[in-house]
Amino acid sequence: MATTVGVVVFPGTNCEMDAMAAVEGLGGSARLLWHGDDELTGVDAVIVPGGFAHGDYLRPGAIARFSPMMRAVARFAAGGGPVVGICNGFQVLTEAGLLPGALQKNRGLKFLCQPTMLRVETIDSALTGRASMGAELSVPINHFEGNYTCDDEMLARLRDEDRIVLRYVDNPNGSVDDIAAVCNEGRNVVGLMPHPERACDELLGSADGAVLMSSLLAAA
Amino acid sequence: MRFDVLVDVRLRGGIADPAGATIERALPALGYDGVSGVNVGKTVRFTMEAADKAEAAARAGDLCSAFLTNPVIEDAEVTVRPAAD
């Protein structure tokens, strides 16, 4: 039976269809999870997709983390279920405390929408299990607040525990230590600013994101 | 009693402030020399019912750390005073 991925939708989410199309193109099935519901049953993995959840008011993800669905996502993650937050979804997962650190405004205050090269830094995560260590992948970014930051103590922990999942080859936004993706201690929750779901077909300019999306399906 | 609460949110020391840095870099071109330490934050104002000022300050402090700030990157100063009406 196909792996079923639940894609969380908040008011203001706008990448849910891209995520579903990527999952279905790789042989999985996908269904939407409304933020106001507090149960997620029958899904094998969860994507918190990009967009502007609750208008990004106050801070990106600050209001979204109080949605009932996020309690269900936290329970799912605590049980070992694979969860990936993409772009705004990464911001939501940091605000919800499922991932460390925070996403700040980009260095230079520019909204960035461009292809970026990412390097795979660990293959022990829900997002990179099928990738090759050190592989360089072309995946687009599309964000204003993607400048990853955390304190020195957390940065040391992320390095020591091999929890930096992807780094930018040429840091576009000022992220500390070129970090593009991190995972939790259990390695089943991953957040990244780039959009692998938009790089799953050569028609879109790159299919390099497919290995990341198929890693999530395999982790389920 | 009603209290006016003012929350002054600012970035913690050591956290890069790209908005402040950009403003600071632009100032000399506008003829404003000798300005440094530009920091950009935000303020949140609201009115709160509480038995007394101490309770209002405690509840506003909780609200601040649970929601109005992200403690990873932000600090806040909370000012409480009896409502002006």
Pair A136, A159: CB distance under 8 Å:
no
* Other C-beta atoms lying within 10 Å of the C-beta of residue A154: 16
A109/B19 touch (CB, cutoff 8 Å), yes or no: yes
Q: Is the pLDDT of residue B19 over 90?
A: no
Residues of A with Cβ-Cβ distance to B70 under 8 angstroms: 59, 62, 95, 102
pLDDT in tens, B51-66: 999 999 999 999 999 9
CA A42 to chain centre: 21
Among A220, A149, A165, A210, smallest CA distance to A19 is for A210
| CA distances (Å), origin A156, targets A95, A100, A124, A183, A184 | 20, 12, 18, 14, 14
Distance from CA of B1 to the nearest CA of A (A): 27
**Strands of B1-85, DSSP E:** 2-11, 42-49, 74-82
**The model's pTM:** 0.93
Place of tokens 């038995």: B51
B16/A174 touch (CB, cutoff 8 Å), yes or no: yes
Q: What is the ipTM of this complex?
A: 0.82
Q: Considering the candidates A15, A87, A183, A200, report the single residue annotated as catalytic.
A: A87
R_g (Cα) of chain B, nearest Å = 16
Confidence label for B13 from pLDDT (cuts 50, 70 and 90)? confident
Q: Of A62, A101, A147, which has the smallest distance from its Cβ to B67's Cβ?
A: A62
A151/B72 touch (CB, cutoff 8 Å), yes or no: yes
B16/A107 touch (CB, cutoff 8 Å), yes or no: yes
Q: Is A106 on the interface with B (CB under 8 A)?
A: yes
Tens of pLDDT along chain A (220 residues)?
689 999 999 999 999 999 999 999 999 999 999 999 999 999 999 999 999 999 999 999 999 999 999 999 999 999 999 999 999 999 999 999 999 999 999 988 899 999 999 999 999 999 999 999 999 999 999 999 999 999 999 999 999 999 999 999 999 999 999 999 999 999 999 999 999 999 999 999 999 999 999 999 999 9
| CA distances (Å), origin A63, targets A140, A158, A210, B55, B72 | 26, 26, 31, 25, 16
Confidence label for B79 from pLDDT (cuts 50, 70 and 90)? very high
**pLDDT at position B17:** 87
Q: Of A58, A106, A151, which has the smallest distance from its Cβ to B18's Cβ?
A: A106
- Asked about A197 being catalytic, the answer comes back as yes
Q: Which tokens sit at B80? A: 């409480």
CA A185 to chain centre: 16
Q: Is B23 on the interface with A (CB under 8 A)?
A: no
Helices A16-25, A210-219: inter-axial angle, 10-degree rounding: 80
d(CA A180, CA A86): 11
Q: Considering the candidates A16, A95, A145, A197, report the single residue annotated as catalytic.
A: A197
**pLDDT at position A108:** 83
**pLDDT at position B75:** 93
Q: Which tokens sit at B55? A: 């309770």
Q: Is A101 on the interface with B (CB under 8 A)?
A: yes
| Average pLDDT rounded to a whole number, residues B5-10 | 96
Torsion A197-A203-A205-A208 (CA) sign:
positive
Distance from CA of A147 to the nearest CA of B (A): 10
Q: Is A108 on the interface with B (CB under 8 A)?
A: yes
Helix (H) or strand (E) holding A31: strand A29-34
Phi first, then psi: give them for residue A36, nearest 5 degrees: -80, -15
Q: Is B31 on the interface with A (CB under 8 A)?
A: no
Q: Is B29 on the interface with A (CB under 8 A)?
A: no
d(CA B76, CA B57): 13
**pLDDT at position B76:** 95
**pLDDT at position A109:** 86
- Asked about A35 being catalytic, the answer comes back as no
The mean of the pLDDT values for chain B is 93
Count of helices and strands (H, E) across chain B: 2, 3
**pLDDT at position B84:** 79
Alpha helix stretches (DSSP H) within A82-176: 88-95, 152-160
**pLDDT at position B15:** 85
Q: Residue A80 half-sphere exposure, CB side, CA atoms within 13 Å? A: 2
